[in-house]
Structure 1
Amino acid sequence: MSFGMSLVAIGWEPEIRGILTVIIGFVVLCGSVYLLLGTNIGARLGFLVALTALAGWMALMGSVWWIYGIGLRGPDPSWEPVPGATVLQDSQALVAGGALSGLPAIPEDATATENALIVNEQFIEEGWVTLDPASPGFGQAQAAASVYLEEEGAFAAGQYQITEVFDTGGERWPKINDSLDFLAFFHTPHYVVAEASTVEPTRTEPGRAPATPVIDESRQRVYVYMIRDLGAVRQPATVLTIGGGAIFLALCYLLHRRDRILRENLAMPIETTEPTPVEATTSADEAREPVGAST
């Protein structure tokens, strides 16, 4: 029973099997290289060379990821809610939330549609740009605004439609001119305001296409105020490149220092000592004994 449970745990796809695959691949790749180096140039020097090669390879891989924005990626850019002023229920809340600096006098008998037109004109006067509904920016803002509207409980799904999106900010700097913006790493804050209109309830019939939503002109528009988070897509690749490069340079310095010390030691002269002569010691009787006396 325990053996079967162990096999099931190892074969579990999401975590255990993936972790084991990475560990085995790392051990086989790095271990085989270290085995070849260790058997040829020694265990300690082989480990240092293998570790240097691994750090250099990581720095090169990180630099490619950094340039093209691929590989290990950080969070993507997204529209984040403006704290305390995300879902604005009326036009006066736009001024209180900081989206608009002010509003012209709105007649008391103005309808919701006339009120929305006055607000739209005020956005344009203050430098906001109306996005084309077919543009990618409109679609991204629409998707983010829908999430916040439903999270805040302002609308349920199918009860509203994003009719306008106003955009401002987001310029890059510093720039020499419009064509030389290679060093424009900084951005001004980028804001959008999405206008949500209530739609009239529609009946759906089986087998027929859903009816086109109709805006309820008697209901007040609701606005979603968002700020652009530029994300950090290249941050992991940047850390990998800088970290791997620093480790690679440090290990290269250690290898260079070892070779320099080795050359200095090999260039030193070998000290030789002359052997001390051994004096022959003979007794007096042996010295007086004539040659051949023993025979």
Structure 2
Amino acid sequence: MSLLAIAWENELRGLLTVIIAVVILCGSIYGIMATNLGSRLAFLVTIAGLAGWMMLMGAVWMIYGIGLRGPDPTWQPVAGSAVLQDVNALGSAGVLDPNAEVPDGAAAGESAELVSDAFLEQGWVVLDTASPAFGQAQAAATEILIEEEAFTAGQFEVVEVFDIGGERYPKINDSLDFLAFRHTPHYVVAEAAAFVPVRTEPGRAPVRPELDETRDRVYVYMIR
């Protein structure tokens, strides 16, 4: 392209690339067939073959590629129940039914364990902290907590994420799912724990944050 002095023109370079590709690929097939079928019939056969090839490629990309792709899924807060400040809010928001039974005066750590057991008993799955799904939910929950002023940045940590729903349908089985364009509602609940307040001193390395076991965990209820 530099020999044609058009390296600076991106649009022209792209246009010429397409033209040259069509002439070489389609033109070579047409030239070979024209020697046997004649120019008119060779043109019709070449166009028919190109149309069939494009139809097959379009069908393959629509099913297995990126065809018919909508907006990327993102976690959104459940309206009216995004930030749940205590265990009782999990029951009133319909997240746990029945709600976790936490005795009065239970420590924050014990309460979190009982809530986690209740999630597992009701079919929720705990996401691995190293999985991409955990990272996506963690980032969304962090943004929601800061926007709702439940915490300030750097003063908390998302310690667990519970997941349920999102099954695709209709599908015959796990291997034949190319028609499963719909899915059931997908929910996650992110559990956030506050850090123990620390005082920073100039010239010294920051203290490693520790979870505050005296404060109740905060839960973020999200859907996508």
Q: TM-score, normalised by structure 2?
A: 0.68
Q: Which moved more, 1:94-103 or 1:157-166?
A: 94-103
The match for 2:93 is 97
Letter in 2 for 1:226: M
Structure (1 or 2) with the larger CA radius of gyration: 1
The match for 1:125 is 121
Which residue, 152, 173, 189 being the options, matches 1:156? Answer: 152
Give the aligned length.
175
Which residue, 168, 172, 175 being the options, matches 2:168? Answer: 172
Preserved contact between residue 87 and residue 100 of structure 2 (Cα < 8 Å): no
The match for 2:211 is 215
Measured after TM superposition, the shift of residue 219 of structure 1 is 0.1
Confirm or deny that 1:113 pairs with 2:129: no
SS in 1 for 2:75: strand
**Is there any run of 5+ residues in structure 1 with no aligned partner, and where?**
1-20, 30-55, 229-295
Measured after TM superposition, the shift of residue 211 of structure 1 is 3.4
In 2 relative to 1, CA 211–134 (structure 1 residues): closer, same or farther, beyond 3 Å? Answer: farther
Letter in 2 for 1:69: I
The Cα offsets for residues 172-192 of structure 1, whole Å up to 9 and x where unpaired, read as 112212211111111011000
The match for 1:69 is 66
SS in 2 for 1:78: coil
Preserved contact between residue 157 and residue 193 of structure 2 (Cα < 8 Å): yes
Identity %: 60
Partners of 1:74 and 1:130 lie apart in 2 by 28
The match for 2:41 is none
Measured after TM superposition, the shift of residue 212 of structure 1 is 2.7
In 2 relative to 1, CA 90–65 (structure 1 residues): closer, same or farther, beyond 3 Å? Answer: same
Higher share of residues assigned helix: 1
Measured after TM superposition, the shift of residue 206 of structure 1 is 6.0
Measured after TM superposition, the shift of residue 73 of structure 1 is 7.3
The Cα offsets for residues 233-278 of structure 1, whole Å up to 9 and x where unpaired, read as xxxxxxxxxxxxxxxxxxxxxxxxxxxxxxxxxxxxxxxxxxxxxx
- Within a 5 Å distance, the mapping from 1:1-295 to structure 2 comes to 68-69=65-66, 75-204=71-200, 210-228=206-224
Letter in 2 for 1:143: A
Alpha-carbon RMSD across the aligned residues, in angstroms, is 2.9
**Is there any run of 5+ residues in structure 2 with no aligned partner, and where?**
1-8, 16-50
Q: Which has the higher contact order (CA 8 A, sep 6+)?
A: 1
Q: TM-score, normalised by structure 1?
A: 0.53
Partners of 2:157 and 2:105 lie apart in 1 by 25
